[in-house]
Every structure is written in structure tokens, then in C-alpha cells.
Structure 1
Amino acid sequence: MNRPAQAQPKRAAAAAFIGTMIEWYDFYIYATAAALVFGQLFFPSTDALFSTMAAFGTFAVGFFARPLGGIIFGHVGDRIGRKKSLVITLLMMGVVTVCIGLLPTYAQIGVAAPVLLILLRIVQGIAVGGEWGGAVLMAGEHAPKGRRNFFASFAQLGSPAGLILSLLAFSAVTRLPEADLMSWGWRLPFLASSLLLIVGLMIRLGVNESPEFLDDKAKAEHARSVPGHTEQAPVVEVLKTAWRPLLLCIGANTLGIAGVYFTNTFMIAYTTQQLSLPRSLILECLFVVSVIQFCIQPAAAWIAEKIGATRFLALVATLAMASPYPMFVLVSSGEPGKIILGIALAVICMASFYAVIAGFVSGMFATRVRYTAISLAYQVCGAVAGGLTPLIGTWLAHTYAGQWWPMAAFYTLIAGTSLVCVLALARRHAAANDLEMAGVTQPR
């Protein structure tokens, strides 16, 4: 049953926020566990580097599965409905996360433990791969005219909220005695996902289908009645007619995806292993930073709405290129206040970019293929930039032990990639709009 239309923009934004918060909570607790305990539990070795790299390897596997999720649920979302796709992904994510919390370790069942972990991680990656695009579109396509970027930012706000919940959960369990943490304590954050799943489903089921999707679906059904009409699968149409903006959107997402796993997942491993800081200290610092991120993102989306998304994204990406150098200097001090300030400098730039980029890239594609296109862009970027960033950071930290500049240069490269691609997308979009005004149609 459809709810009153006038309440739907806010309801859709709230549902996008709550749903993605739960999905990202599930994803981030895996990331935190990979940095802290999975190496010892599922990949025991006398070489700590091998265990950490193996654990981050399973983390990367989930990213590599995400493009598949984007294709599968992009098709569902573009052909059957955004809402149906989002309900399925939320169910998948919640069930898999609980299963990880119940999984026996290597000490209990041997090599079957890491194999099962990898399989569950793949399913988790597929679920997240289908989630993001739908949440962005449900919020953005319900938005009042001219406010797509701001409303779409609520789906992005779920990321820091999920991170806050995950850090709270692991901050609590890491205070347990080491033996308790390694035997049963690490499981609690995963099992708690079952409660969040129930809340998320109740909220998500209360939102109407996207009005833009329903309008486009009616047009598509009319087109199918025309003799000789042929219809391609959304992924085929995107790869044939919109591969150039797709590649640029992949690059544009780099800072928002790789940046968060650099400042959070990799930074946990770096500070605890290279700087020998207590796990509880870095988790507490990251919690404060994640609260700052949560507050910054809505403000960033509002500012971008006032000055223009392209100008705003270019500005914060440029600042992000410079941010890792003071970050590493301050983090290397080992003092809580300086650690928070250092990571916050980088995160403020990254989070401001992340808040706005979703609405920006969603405007680059036609409604009929939009779910598939933005999901592919985000998830392919996630597979490459997100999945590999903790691995590359860990390798650089061990190769250049005692030196932080190679890791800072790597982060600058991440931000620079997004800057170049955003500017290229803006020029391409402006040119396409000029052609449309002149009466010339051109594939986006």
C-alpha cells in the first residue's frame, strides 16, 4: 500500500540512511575484525604480516564480488523496482553477517574455516554491491526538484553512522580479556546485526517505489507494444552506449571509497603494528573522527547545493590531496588529541567529497539504466580502489618501515584521480546538455 506522496521525500531519505547504516555496519565490523582478529583466528601463522595480509585478502574478496551484485541488483532495480531490490539486499546482508558471527575458527575445523569465511564474504559483497545504488536512487528520485544531490547524500550518511556503530561494538569487546575476545567476544558485533536487520526491514518496507522509476516503467511498457521494438539488458546498454561516463564515474568515486578504507581499516593496522599503539586507543580516536564525519556530511551536501556540486567536489578533492601529510605527522606522535586531529583533517575532505559524489554521478545516466550504471561505477571502483587500498597500504608500511611519505603520496594519488575524473564528467555533462538544448540527442 502506497503512503501519502507528500511525506515520501523525507521518508525515502530516512529509509536510505537507516538501510545503508545497517549495511555498512555489517561491512565495517568485518573490516575491523580483519584488521584486529581474523588473521589469528582464520589464518594463523608465525608471520604476523602473512596473517594480516591474508585477512585483508578476504576483505578484498568482498569488494571483487560487489560488481556482480551491482549487475544483478541493478537489473532487478532497473526492470522490476528499486524497492524490491533493496529489501533483498538488506536481508542477504543481515543473514550473512550473523552466519559469520557463528562461524567456527581455524583451530576448530581447520582449513574449512577460512574457506567458509571467504564464501560468506563473497555473498556479503554481492549484497553491498546491490545496496548502494538503490539507496542513492530511492532518496534522490523521491527528492523535490533541484534537490537530488542533497537528498541522495542521506544514503551516504549511512556510511559514517555504520562506522560509528561498528567502532562502538568493537571498542566494547576489545576491553574484554584477550582470551575472551578471541574465543567469543569478536562474535558479538556480528550477532547484533540480527536486531538491526528487523529495524531496517520495517523502515524500508514503508517507502513507496521511486516515482521516476514508475514513470519510466510506464514509458518502457508503451515502447514494448510498438512492433519491432527490442530491449537490451541494462548492463548491455550501459556498456554499449555509456561506457565513457561509466569509466569516469569509476575514477570519480575513488576518493570516497579508497579514502575511507585508508583512514579507517588501514590506519588501524598501521597504528597498532607499525606504531605499536593500543587497539583500544586507535578505535576510540576513530570513533571521535567518525562522529565528526557524520556531522560534516550533511553540511557538505548543503554547501554543495548552494555553490554547485562540481565546484565543491573539485575544491575538497584538491584539499584532500594535501591532507595526508599533516595526518601522518600528527598520527606519528602517538598522542590521542593529535591522532584525532590528523585523521580528522583527511576525513573532513574525504567525507565532504563522499557526501556529494553520489548525487553527482547519478545525474550522468538515463533513468532506465541508472541503477545498473551507478552501481557498476561504484562497485568496480570499490573492487579495485577499496579492496586493494588496505593491502597496498600494508605493503608500503612494511616495505618503507619507519617512513610515512610513500603512504601519503599514495593517498594524494587517490584524491588526484577523483579530481581529474570529476572535472572531465562535468565538461562532458555540460556538452551533452548543450546538445540537448540544440535538439541533438546523444547517449550519456
Structure 2
Amino acid sequence: MSAPLSSGVTTGAVSPSPTAAEDAANLRRARWGGLAGTALEQYDFVIYGTASALVFNTVFFPDVSPAVGYLGSFGAYAVGFLARPLGGLFFSRFGDRLGRKWVLVTTLYLMGIATFLIGLLPTYETIGLAAPLLLVVLRCLQGFGAGAEMAGGTVLLAEAARPGRRGLTAALVWVGASGGTALGAVVWLAVQQLPDDAMMSYGWRLVFLSSLLVTLLAYLLRRKLQDPRVFTEAAREQAREHAGERRPSPIKDVWTNSRRNVLRVFAMVAGVSLNSYTYQVFMGSYLVSNVGADKAVFTRALLIGAVCGMGAAVFFGWLSDRLGRRPAYTTTALAMMTLPVPAFLMLDTGSPVMITAVIILGFVFAAEGSVSAQAAYLPEIFGSRYRYAGVTMGRELASVVGGAGPLVCSALVTWASGSWIPVAALMIVSIAVSLAATWRTPETRDRDLFSEADAT
């Protein structure tokens, strides 16, 4: 029986490999599809993260102290990241069998619908404890869908890219992510023009309801995607190898044969993810509750930072093609290790210019630059047989560390009586771990993605 949302691959047979002309056309579609899909994912997560920092502590956790309210709000935020590995593992089974497109379209719907429904939720004042519980359920669905989205986008673009441009092409996923962040910031800035009562009653809902339009646009750009030649030929080889037999699970296959690389990817991504969400989410609550900054200052800084991040994604993707994956990432990692202490000193001034400068640097190096240097690196580490499963497993397990970052940082600041020093130390140590893991991983620039063997 053919797989739904025709991916070019069925459970019983494999369609012919695309021609060179079809490859070129699919690369164009993959670029736009990758941009659109990751823009939606990041839009969903940014509007939720911003709401966690600015709104949800009041709307869903009103009967507690401000500090406990933020812990509850960020706890609900972190739950979505706990669901990401589960979604990634679930969908990676299909990504390496039914094709990249099948997963990317399915997760698109799941994320968009969950985000839309958050905008319809009753508040704590209306239905009591059921309100935050429903919020957690929808957050889990959002994370479950996102668990395969980013890995799927980078794998598809890396496999479709031309030789010598794989880093830049795969980094377009992160251009889309910055675009989603910028769009989310624009929408939040718009609703923050409302009076406070209106913003807290229905304004925040408009932000989440707007995800329906973003989802429809992303689907229109993604619906004509075709799986790249690398995948179709690997799928054909697997079909021949296991003709008449049950194919092994990609998850079991990659864990059995490439466990070391899965753990490498986990370590490479964990520190980056923690730093990224600290800049994008935690610093918003820190500015409001500890510095006394206006909420709109952080939202404007997010917008400017996201626009700068788009340029950084392109630059570091290009740099990874020119210098290699490890040198490009090392550049961003060393910058991230020097930033936390001066960043918090600048935030404590309360100056909008200083705050904006910190968020820009966070986007350039943590949120976009480092992950763009890794965009082609992670897929190149694994062989074609279980590439999707390997990238997804390592990356999404690491995302739990990043997603828990705002919650952990908020707890550390509360424990340290308002001091940011433990947070800065955590950011530095986590990047040191990622940098050490990268230096123990082979350089992979321009390796043959048709090979079933892992990089050595």
C-alpha cells in the first residue's frame, strides 16, 4: 500500500530515482519548503516562549508568587521539549522508510493545529487547574510534531544540495527559523500596542490563532516537495536487501551500529541549544522581573536579533563550506564562551540599546550561527541507511537540555537571590562540552552522502 502524502517511496516498492533536472527543481522546492516549515516551527515556539516569559505566568498560574509563576510557566514550556525526542523517534521511523516529505507535511499539520488550539484555551480563572493541564497537553503535541521537523529539514536540504554548497544550503533551514522568530516578534509587538487589560484577555490569543495562516502558507510551499536522489537510491537498496523480509527499525539500526555518533551529536547540540533558548526566552523574564525593563523592549530586541540572525545563518553556512564544519562551529563556540558575563552586565544596565546588542549577539552566535555551522555537519556524520534517525535521535535528545534551560535558569536565579552568575557559568560550561565533542568528531565537509557508512 502506498504511503500517504505521496513521498515517492512506498512500503513495498521504491519509485525511480529523479533525473538531474528533477533534482534541480526539487532543490528549489526544498529550499522554500525548508524555509517555510522551520519558520512555522520557530514561529510556534517563539510565540509560546515569549508568552511564557510575559503572559502565561499570570494567565495560567495567577495564584502564586511571581517567582513560582515563572517556574510554572517555564515548566510548561520545558514539557514541550520533553515531547520532542518522543516525536523525533516516532517520526524518524517513517522518515527513513516512507520519505522525508511524508514526515515534513505531517508534522506541519500537527504543530500548526496544536498552536492554534492554545489560542482557544480557557484561563485559570475560568476552569481552574484544568487550564494549565490543557496547556501542557497542547504543548506536548506541539513538541511532538517539532521533534522531527528541524532534523527532517536539514537532512532533506543536505541530501538535495549540490557539492560544495551543502553547508550553505542546509543552513537555509535556520534562515527560516530566524524568519519565524522575526514574524513572531512582529505579531507580539502588534498586540502589545493594545491596553494591558486587552492584551492579557484576548490579545495574546490573536498571536496563537495567527498560526493557522502561517501553517497554510507553509503547506503551500511544501506540498510539491519530492524526496532527494540520495534517499530514493538508499531506499531502493534497502528494498533489494530486504526483499520479502521485514526491514529493521532505523532507530534500532542506528543505536546498534552508530551509538557513538548519536552521543556525539547529543553533546554537540546540547550546549548550543541551552544557550540559544537562554537568550531567546529566559532573558525576557529576567529583564522584566529582575531588571524592571518594559516587556516591549525585549520583543523589539527579538525582532532585530532575528533579522541579524538570518544573515548570520547564511554566513556561517557558507563559512562551513569554505573552512570546514569544525572550524566554522569552533568560531561560534569560542564567541559564545566569552559572551555570558558581559551579556548579563549589559542587561543589568536596563538600557534598550545594550539589551538589543545582547540579543543580537545571542542570535548571531547561539541561536543561528552555531546551528548553521552544524546544519550540514550532523547529516554528514551518518550513513544513508539511518541518517534521519541518527540526526533526530541525537539532536532532539539534546533539545530537552535546551528546552529545560529557561526553567533551570529561572530556578538558579531564584536560588542565588537574583544573581545571574550561576546562569552565566552554566552557559559557559555547556558550550565547553559541545566544543569538546566537536573536536572528537571527524571533519565531514563534502563527504559522499550516498555511502551507507558513517563518517570516520
TM band (smaller chain): over 0.9
Q: Establish whether residue 420 from structure 1 lines up as the match of residue 436 from structure 2.
A: yes
Q: Which residue of 2 aligns with 1:252?
A: 268
The one-letter code of the counterpart of 2:141 is: V
Counterpart check, 1:140 vs 2:158: yes
Alpha-carbon shift at residue 181 of structure 1 (Å): 1.1
Give the Cα–Cα distance (whole angstroms) in 1 for the partners of residues 336 and 136 of structure 2: 33
Match of 1:219 among 237, 240, 252: 237
Structure 2 residue 271 is matched with structure 1 residue 240: no
- 1:316 counterpart = 2:329: no
- Structure 1 residue aligned with 2:35: 17
Contact 2:305–2:361 under 8 Å retained in 1: no
Q: Distance in 2 between matches of 1:231 and 1:222?
A: 10
Per-residue deviation at 1:443? Answer: 8.8
Correspondent of 1:155 among 173, 176, 179 = 173
Post-superposition offset of 1:133: 1.4
Partner Cα separation in structure 1 for residue 243 and residue 311 of structure 2: 49
Match of 1:282 in 2: 298
Q: Secondary structure at the match of 1:253?
A: helix
Which one of 360, 371, 395 corresponds to residue 378 of structure 1? Answer: 395
**Within 5 A, what are the aligned runs for 1:13-412?**
13-225=31-243, 231-350=247-366, 351-383=368-400, 385-412=401-428
Deviation at 1:146, TM superposition (A): 3.1
The CA deviation at 1:406 is 2.2
AA matched with 1:269? S
SS at match of 2:375: helix
SS at match of 1:179: helix
The alpha carbon displacement at 1:326 in A equals 1.7
**Would the aligned equivalents of 1:98 and 1:193 in 2 still touch at CA under 8 Å?**
yes
3-state SS in 1 of match to 2:440: helix
Conserved? CA contact 1:90–1:201, under 8 Å: yes
Q: Distance in 2 between matches of 1:80 and 1:307?
A: 35
In the alignment, the residues of structure 2 paired with residue 393 and residue 139 of structure 1 have an alpha-carbon distance, to the nearest angstrom, of 34
- Asked if the contact 1:255/1:353 (under 8 Å) is kept, the reply is no
Question: For the residues of structure 2 that align with 1:158 and 1:278, how far apart are their CA atoms?
Answer: 28
In the TM superposition, residue 223 of structure 1 has moved relative to its aligned partner by 0.7
Question: For the structure 1 residues 39 and 210, does the alpha-carbon distance in structure 2 shift closer, same or farther, using more than 3 Å as the test?
Answer: same
**Contact residue 317 and residue 375 of structure 2 kept, 8 A:** no
In structure 1, runs of 5+ residues without a counterpart are none
TM-score between both structures, scaled by the size of structure 2:
0.90
CA 1:109/1:230 → structure 2, altered by over 3 Å: closer, same or farther?
A: closer
2:151 and 2:280 mapped to 1: Cα distance?
A: 23
Aligned-pair distance for 1:230? 6.2
In structure 1, give the amino acid aligned to 2:338. A
Equivalents in 1 of 2:318, 2:178: separation in Å?
A: 17
- Separation in 1 of the partners of 2:162 and 2:294? 47
Q: For each residue in 1:321-340, what CA deviation from the matched residue of structure 2 results, as whole angstroms up to 9, or x when unmatched?
A: 01112211212111111222
Give the residue type in structure 1 aligned to 2:215. Answer: L
RMSD after superposition: 2.1
Amino acid at match of 2:330: A
Structure-2 change in CA distance of 1:34 and 1:402 (3 Å): closer
How far apart, CA to CA, are the structure 1 residues paired with 2:335 and 2:215?
A: 37
Q: Take 1:99 and 1:56, find their aligned partners in 2: how far apart are those partners?
A: 19
The separation in 1 between residues aligned to 2:191 and 2:67, in whole angstroms, is: 24
Counterpart in the other structure of 2:12: none
The amino acid that maps onto 1:408 is A
CA distance in 1, matches of 2:165, 2:156: 13
The question of whether the paired residues in 2 share the 8 Å contact of 1:324 and 1:346 is answered with: no
Percent of paired sites with the same residue: 30
TM-score scaled to structure 1, two decimals? Answer: 0.93
Superposed displacement of residue 353, structure 1 = 0.9
Q: Separation in 1 of the partners of 2:96 and 2:271?
A: 27
How many positions carry a matched residue from both structures? Answer: 433
Greater shift in the superposed pair: 5-14 or 93-102: 5-14
Looking at structure 2, the residues matched to 15 and 256 of structure 1 have their Cα atoms a distance apart, in angstroms, of 25
- Give 1:166 deviation, angstroms: 1.0
**One-letter code aligned to 2:284:** I
Conserved in 2, the CA contact under 8 Å of 1:331 and 1:339? yes
CA deviation after TM superposition for structure 1 residue 88, in Å: 0.3
Q: Which moved more, 1:311-320 or 1:244-253?
A: 311-320
CA separation in 2, counterparts of 1:352 and 1:100? 31
Q: Which amino acid aligns with 1:271?
A: L
Which structure 2 residue ranges, 5 or more long, are not aligned? 1-5, 7-17
Which deviates the most, 334-343 or 364-373?
Answer: 334-343
1:442 shift after superposition:
7.4
The 1:402/1:47 distance shift into structure 2, 3 A limit, reads: closer
